[in-house]
Chains A and B, each alone.
Chain A
Amino acid sequence: MDVQHNCSTIVPNQHVLIKLPSEGMKIAFLREEGTISLGKFGAFKVESILGHPLGTTFEIGENQDAVPVKSMIHNEDPVENEITEEELTKDQLTKYFEVSAESNQDIINIGLSIQKLDNKQIDDLKKSGASSEIGQKIIEQIIAGHAAFDKKTVFSQQKYLRRKQRKFLRRFQVEYLGLSQLLQYYIDKDIQRVLHMSEETLGMLLSYANIRPGGNYLVLDDTAGVVVYAMLERMQGKGSILLIHENEHANLAALRHSDYSEEYQKKMIKTLSWLQFAEPENEKIEWEDLPQEEIDEMRPTKQLQYSRRLKRAAEINDALDMVINGNFDALVAVSTLNISSLLPYVVPRVGGSRPVVFYSPYKEVLLETQHELMTDKRVLAPAMFETRARVYQTIQGRLHPLMTSRGYGGYILYGIRVFPAGGHIQAVGKGTRKKPKHDNVKSATMTPQPEAEAAKIEDLQEGK
Chain B
Amino acid sequence: MSFYKYKDFIEEGDLVLAFISRGLIKPFTVKSGEFLNTRFGSFEHALMIGMKYGTQMGGVKDRGFIHLLHPSPELWTVSLPHRTQIVYTPDSSYIVQRLGITSGSRVIEAGTGSASFTHAFARTLSDDGKLFTYEFHEPRYIEARRELEEHGLLLNNCLITHRDVCNDGFNIENLPEKFAKNGGLCCDAVFLDLPSPWTAIPNLSSVVSSETRVGICCFSPCIEQVDKTIEALAEHGWTDIEMVEIAGRRWEARKEMVRDVLDVIERLKQIQGKKTQGIESKRQVKLEEESDKKRSADQLDADSALPEPSGKTTKFNPFGKGIRIKEGDEQFNWKQVTKVETEIKTHTSYLTFAYLVPTRS
A contacts, CB < 8 Å to B? 4, 7-9, 51-57, 68, 70-72, 74, 82, 84-86, 176, 178-180, 199-200, 202-204, 206-208, 210, 212-215, 233-236, 238, 327, 329, 351-355, 363-364, 367-368, 370-371, 374, 377, 380-392, 394-397, 399, 401, 411, 416-421, 424-425, 428-429, 432, 434, 438, 441-442, 445-450, 452, 455-456, 459
Residue pair A394, B248 in contact (C-beta under 8 Å): no
Given contacts A419-B55, A428-B61, A428-B62, contact A212 B124 (CB under 8 A): yes
Given contacts A390-B247, A394-B242, A419-B55, contact A355 B72 (CB under 8 A): yes
**Sample of 16 A–B contacts (CB below 8 Å):** A8-B212, A55-B213, A71-B240, A84-B234, A179-B100, A200-B94, A207-B93, A210-B72, A327-B8, A351-B8, A352-B8, A364-B336, A389-B246, A418-B54, A418-B69, A446-B22
Give the interface segment out of B136-144, B251-259, B293-301.
B251-259
Which residues from B are CB-within-8-Å of A442?
Answer: 21, 40, 64
Does B5 touch A at the CB level, under 8 Å? Answer: yes
Does B70 touch A at the CB level, under 8 Å? Answer: yes
Q: Is the interface of A mostly helix, strand, loop or mixed?
A: mixed
Q: How far is the CA of A180 from the CA of B53 in the complex (A)?
A: 33
Q: Which of A4, A386, A396, A421 contacts B57 (CB 8 A)?
A: A421
Given contacts A52-B360, A202-B97, A449-B21, contact A353 B4 (CB under 8 A): no
Q: Which of A52, A84, A399, A421 contacts B56 (CB 8 A)?
A: A421
Name the interface size band of chain B: 35 or more
Residue pair A385, B248 in contact (C-beta under 8 Å): yes
Binary per-residue interface labels of chain B (1-39) against chain A in the complex, 1 for a CB within 8 Å, 0 otherwise: 000111010000000000101111000000000000001
Which residues from A are CB-within-8-Å of B185?
Answer: none
User: Which chain B residue shows the least CB distance to A444?
Assistant: B21
8 Å CB interface, B108-161 against A: 120, 123-124, 126-128
Q: How far is the CA of A456 from the CA of B251 in the complex (A)?
A: 25
**Distance between A191 CB and nearest chain B CB, rounded to angstroms:** 18
List the count of A-B residue pairs having beta carbons below 8 Å apart.
285
Residue pair A394, B72 in contact (C-beta under 8 Å): no
Does B241 touch A at the CB level, under 8 Å? Answer: yes
Residue pair A429, B61 in contact (C-beta under 8 Å): yes
**Distance between A73 CB and nearest chain B CB, rounded to angstroms:** 9
Residue pair A394, B230 in contact (C-beta under 8 Å): yes
Residue pair A204, B94 in contact (C-beta under 8 Å): yes
Q: How far is the CA of A208 from the CA of B68 in the complex (A)?
A: 18
Residue pair A85, B234 in contact (C-beta under 8 Å): yes
8 Å CB interface, B205-263 against A: 209, 211-213, 223, 226-227, 230-231, 234-235, 239-255
Given contacts A71-B239, A212-B4, A418-B54, contact A203 B64 (CB under 8 A): no
In this complex, the member of B40, B211, B213 whose beta carbon has the largest number of chain A beta carbons within 10 angstroms is B213
Residue pair B212, A7 in contact (C-beta under 8 Å): yes
Which residues from A are CB-within-8-Å of B235?
Answer: 86
Which residues from A are CB-within-8-Å of B6?
Answer: 215, 329, 351, 353-354
Give the interface segment out of B265-273, B280-288, B311-319, B351-359.
B351-359
Q: How far is the CA of A353 from the CA of B66 in the complex (A)?
A: 13
User: Which chain A residue shows the least CB distance to B255?
Assistant: A371
**Distance between B355 CB and nearest chain A CB, rounded to angstroms:** 6
Residue pair A214, B126 in contact (C-beta under 8 Å): yes
Residue pair B250, A384 in contact (C-beta under 8 Å): yes
User: Which chain A residue shows the least CB distance to B120?
Assistant: A207
User: Which chain B residue shows the least CB distance to A392?
Assistant: B243
User: Which chain A residue shows the least CB distance to B360?
Assistant: A52
**Distance between B236 CB and nearest chain A CB, rounded to angstroms:** 11
User: Which chain B residue shows the least CB distance to A350?
Assistant: B54
Does B67 touch A at the CB level, under 8 Å? Answer: yes
Which residues from A are CB-within-8-Å of B53?
Answer: 352-353
Binary per-residue interface labels of chain B (97-112) against chain A in the complex, 1 for a CB within 8 Å, 0 otherwise: 1101011100000000
Q: How far is the CA of A353 from the CA of B74 in the complex (A)?
A: 12
Which residues from B are CB-within-8-Å of A452?
Answer: 65
Residue pair A385, B126 in contact (C-beta under 8 Å): no
Q: How far is the CA of A174 from the CA of B213 in the complex (A)?
A: 11
**Distance between A332 CB and nearest chain B CB, rounded to angstroms:** 14
Q: Which of A86, A176, A213 contacts B100 (CB 8 A)?
A: A176
Q: How far is the CA of A54 from the CA of B356 in the complex (A)?
A: 11
Which residues from B are CB-within-8-Å of A179?
Answer: 97, 100, 102
Does B203 touch A at the CB level, under 8 Å? Answer: no
Does B79 touch A at the CB level, under 8 Å? Answer: no
Does B92 touch A at the CB level, under 8 Å? Answer: yes
Does B52 touch A at the CB level, under 8 Å? Answer: yes
User: Which chain A residue shows the least CB distance to B128?
Assistant: A236
Given contacts A214-B126, A388-B246, contact A236 B253 (CB under 8 A): no
Which residues from B are CB-within-8-Å of A235?
Answer: 103
Which residues from A are CB-within-8-Å of B24?
Answer: 445
User: Which chain A residue shows the least CB distance to B247?
Assistant: A388
**Distance between A136 CB and nearest chain B CB, rounded to angstroms:** 19
Q: Which of A206, A383, A399, A445 contacts B97 (CB 8 A)?
A: A206
Does B46 touch A at the CB level, under 8 Å? Answer: no
Does B50 touch A at the CB level, under 8 Å? Answer: no
Does B321 touch A at the CB level, under 8 Å? Answer: no
Residue pair A214, B357 in contact (C-beta under 8 Å): no
